Structure 1
Amino acid sequence: MLTIRSYKEFEQYLGKEIGTSSYHTITQEQINKFSDATLDHQWIHTDPKRAETESPFKTTIAHGYLTLSLIPYLWKQIVDIQYLKMEINYGMDKLRFAQAVMVGSEVRLQVKLVDIINLRGVTKVTMRVELEIKGQKKSAFTGEALFLYHFID
């Protein structure tokens, strides 16, 4: 795992692959809990029996936003950012969902630092993120995740 303690340490990775997380298995329980939290109970996510007969995937699939919400969890497997006052999810750019993630799939995150800016003491980073699905050619999604890091001086 990489450790970053300052803007200058982060800046060294500009244009470089930062790393890849471990695989995470998407379970039906996780999908159901996400459905409850977001009030999105569409049957393609929550009804395995119906999905088996009516879905083109023949099983339930994870919500696209569930897969997206894994970024902070998987990112923290790649890098340990220390000496922070605060970390903020700032946004997503160029997000494309390319492949459904079926229940039982294993996914992992690949990250590349594409931009870093010092905004009067706040570090703004833009990272190209790609969520791979084990055994699939297409990724679940690609995009640019933006974070703000307030390092302790």
Structure 2
Amino acid sequence: MPVEISLSEIPGLVGEEIGLSSWITVDQTMIDAFAGATNDHQFIHVDPVRAAAETSFGGTIAHGFLTLSLLSAMNYDCLPKIREQTMGINYGFDKIRFMSPVRCDKRIRGHFVLSEARFRGAGMVMTTYDVSIEIEGEKKPALTATWITIVQFDPKDRPEGV
């Protein structure tokens, strides 16, 4: 996938995997920082000894919302930049499923399939991605989601016929 694309190329990419991010290691420092930011200190996330003794995980696991939040970093890492874009907006999710826990010190990466692109108004395209987060060495993904974003651009840059 090119590093940069134009608005006119977007409709032709629907149905394609347009991004595969680099690996991110989810370590205990990251998990603890997220616990502090969200005030979610459940032992399965922050107490390695207890999590190893009392769960089937063998140690701590990342918060599901931590894994979800890493989609932003993965997006910036791998999705092509749109030349005409003036701003991007996170519109939300239609569906999120946490499929498998991310154990501490595992590596994860994001897969982004552009499932829909609709030009709206004079200067906006709504993009929908089917995303999944792969856990290195595991068959089941950490999560799957349908993510909707809005790309804003100057109306003079709108491709003809869309």
What TM-score, normalized by structure 1, do the two folds share? 0.93
Q: Distance in 2 between matches of 1:26 and 1:55?
A: 19
**Bigger mean CA offset, 122-131 vs 143-152:** 143-152
CA distance in 2, matches of 1:4, 1:118: 19
Distance 1:104 1:54 in 2: 19
For 2:23 and 2:119, how far apart are their aligned partners in 1? 32
**What corresponds to 1:78 in structure 2?**
78
1:148 to 147, 150, 157: 150
Q: What do residues 37-59 of structure 1 show as CA deviations (whole Å, max 9, x unaligned)? A: 11111110011111111121020
Alignment of 1:104-115 (within 5 A): 104-115=105-116
**CA deviations over 1:4-55 (Å, ceiling 9, x no partner):** 4443222221111113111111010000111111111111001111111112
- Show the counterpart of 2:103: 102
1:48-107 per-position Cα deviation (integer Å, ceiling 9, x unaligned):
111111121020000001000011111122123244321111111221111000001110
Residue matched to 1:41: 41
Contact 1:4 1:10 in 2 (8 A): no
Residue type matched to 1:91 in 2?
G
Map 1:4-153 to 2 at 5 A: 4-81=4-81, 82-120=83-121, 121-152=123-154, 153=157
Q: 1:12 is paired with a residue of what secondary structure?
A: helix
Consecutive unaligned residues in structure 2, runs of 5 or more: 158-162
Distance in 1 (CA, whole Å) between partners of 2:52 and 2:125 is 47
User: Percent identity at matched positions?
Assistant: 39
Unmatched runs of 5 consecutive residues or more in structure 1: none
Contact 2:26/2:107 (8 A) holds in 1: yes
The match for 2:160 is: none
Checking the alignment, whether the CA contact within 8 Å between 1:123 and 1:148 is kept in structure 2 is yes
* Matched positions, count: 153
Q: Where does structure 1 differ by over 4 angstroms across 4 or more consecutive aligned residues?
A: none
